[in-house]
Chains A and B, each alone.
Chain A
Amino acid sequence: MATRPLGVDAAGALPARARRAGIRTGLARFCRKKPLGAVGGAIMLLIVLAAIFADQLQTHDPIATEAAHTLAPPGETHWLGTDHLGRDIYSRIVHGARVSLIVGLASTLLGSVLGGMIGLLSGYVGGKTDLVTQRVMDILQGLPILVLALVMSASLGPSIQNVILAISIPIVPRAGRVIRSSVLSIREMQYVEAARAIGIRHLRIAFRHILPNTMGPFIVLGTAQLGGAILVEAALSFLGVGVPEPYPSWGRMLSVSAAEYAQKAPWLVLFPGVAISLAVFGSNLLGDALRDTLDPRLRGA
């Protein structure tokens, strides 16, 4: 980002092979400079792989109940034990990665893209439009994420799409703010003035000339929100308004029914929580390292 001259398009500046090599050395440098970030990346990769290959990694059917093996402790047949309905916890956690990742990624993407668009346009247009947009953002941001998501997902009804929507809406104003503030400073740059002087249309300037330069903050924002989104999904499912049965979701595995058996079978509570924490920890580590790398203002801080 930083080495590219302003105004030059991101794509097409280098031949594909050179670019790939550049990415590889960039990755190596990232691992050396930001070991914690690399650890976070590795954790995320592991979870992504678990989500993709959940069907191959499972040892049992994640939703099949086994009346004979309820609350079995961790052992050879059930690696992480079984729950109160005799379902294999390991297989449920592997499949839960799918739900958590899909919900987390989709809601973060939806919220940040929507918020980013709003931030880009309101920052570029300015004036009254900007003022009104900012007030609307204030309204949406005036509530804790979980409260807004809770009200939304309870009223929309339980389904994966609704949970994604409920989590993404609170992200919109936060994304909008970040993108808007960087658009405000980019808008005043000389190359934008030059673009306007040669008569390029406003929409093209906004999307083609300004948008690429907000990618740094955008990526930072996205990774920062991902962990939060996974946590909100867990909390919603825990409260019973999140991802519906029969999908195995980490938050649901911790819900009230599991809490009742917690004393007798602590593995019921322990392992899904570890999975959530690990996923969020990984994305937080990665997000921190990316912020340090991509956001020059915070470099070294």
Chain B
Amino acid sequence: MKTYIAERLGIGLVTLLGMSVVIFVLLRLAPGNIVDILFSTGGYVNPSERLAIERELGLDKPLWAQYLDWLRQMAVGNLGKSYRYDLPAWEIIKPLIPVTLELAVLSLVIAVLLGVPMGVISAVRQDTRLDYALRVFSLAGLSMPSFWLGMVIILGLVAWFGWIPPVTYVRPGENLGLHLVQFLLPALAVGYRSSALIMRFTRSSLLEVLREDYVRTAWAKGQTGRVVIWHHALKNAILPVVTVIGIEFAFLIGGLVVTEQVFNLPGLARFLVQAILWRDYPIVQNLVMITAVVVILSNLIVDMLYGVLDPRVRYGN
């Protein structure tokens, strides 16, 4: 088990290293750097002034030197300095993490609470009208852009209740009720989409398990439907679903990029977009690397959970 984890972490580290190269090169493909953008508002550019700023930011060094600098800093946990705000990147990123984390967890909870029961009902009532309705409902969730759904939710609230959600971010300490409402709406918009995925996996996985012999035995013993489905069948069917939940958690950040924008929440994802538009390399690089770390770790955790949920799964060799 220990060697397995060590091996996985090693592979993860190699993946991260490769990703750092990809991100670094991608960002340098961009025409223009922060200095261009800073000066584009000023009009006339004094070449010596420009050179001084570039030197200060380390942009005058060759690319490989810039890359090595970045790696060295990351290795000691220094996330560099934001070009735009002239602050250490970590100081800017730190307060954004709880916002995105809260939104992601809330979305995932909604997704699981909605997706698993829908999947079970849909599988048990396969090919009935209810099954079709649930499948169309979930497919609709996969088809609507979550940022648009968010806009429509806000519009609906205004039209029917005359209630306008707060424009600025409300801290939990200020007004807990309003804070929760502010997070619940985007979480609903994002969670609906994830619930659709979870529902589909639950359904197909449960359908497969329901055909197995031991389930037939359980029926033959005269056990009630509730026990057979929720106790015997779902236990085995939930394994692939756990994988999807893990993957979804890591990938929620993609859905949050636009949703945080719509609901004006100061999270990591919204900040990533702004940093990209500003060519604020340290921020973008580090945010993307943080995303990658989250993806790799949550994949590992999911695989570990497999062993806990299913004693047949063995690691190593």
Q: Which residues of A approach B to under 8 Å, CB–CB?
A: 36, 135-136, 138-140, 142-147, 150-152, 154-157, 227, 231, 234-235, 238-241, 251, 254, 259, 262-263, 266, 269-270, 273, 276-278, 280-281, 284-285, 288, 298, 300-301
State A215–B203 Cα separation when bound (angstroms).
26
On whether A301 and B204 interact (CB within 8 A), knowing A143-B19, A147-B288, the answer reads yes
B204 & A298 in contact (Cβ 8 Å cutoff)? yes
Contacting pair A263 B257 (CB below 8 A)? no
Q: What CA separation (Å) do A278 and B26 show in the bound complex?
A: 33
- Is A155's CB under 8 angstroms from B208's CB? no
Band of interface residues on B: 35 or more
Closest to B140 in A: A281
Contact A150 B148 (CB under 8 A): no
Contact A147 B291 (CB under 8 A): yes
Residue of A nearest to B296 (CB): A142
- Taken together as a complex, chains A and B put the C-alpha atoms of A277 and B29 apart, in Å, by 33
Is the pair A144, B254 in contact by a Cβ cutoff of 8 Å? yes
- The number of A-B residue pairs with CB atoms under 8 Å apart is 137
The minimal Cβ–Cβ distance linking B313 to chain A, given in whole angstroms, is 20
Q: DSSP class of A's interface residues: helix, strand, loop or mixed?
A: helix
Other A-B pairs beyond A151-B23, A276-B148, 10, CB < 8 Å: A143-B291, A144-B291, A147-B288, A151-B288, A235-B147, A239-B257, A239-B273, A277-B144, A277-B148, A300-B207
5 nearest CB pairs, A to B: A144-B254, A155-B30, A146-B254, A273-B148, A281-B143
Q: Say yes or no: A266 contacts B155, CB within 8 Å.
A: yes
Binding site for A on B (CB under 8 A): 11, 14-15, 18-19, 22-23, 26-31, 132, 135-136, 139-140, 142-145, 147-148, 151-152, 154-155, 158-159, 204, 207-208, 250-251, 253-255, 257-258, 261-262, 272-273, 276-277, 284, 288, 291-292, 295-296
CB-based contact B132/A150 at 8 Å? no
Cross-chain pairs A/B with CB under 8 angstroms, 15 sampled: A147-B272, A150-B257, A151-B26, A152-B26, A154-B30, A155-B29, A239-B273, A262-B155, A266-B155, A269-B155, A270-B152, A276-B148, A280-B143, A288-B139, A301-B204
In the complex, the chain A residue whose C-beta lies closest to that of B269 is A147
In angstroms, Cα B220 to Cα A30, docked, is 36
Q: Which of the residues A144, A156, A270, A276 comes within 8 Å of B29, measured between beta carbons?
A: A156
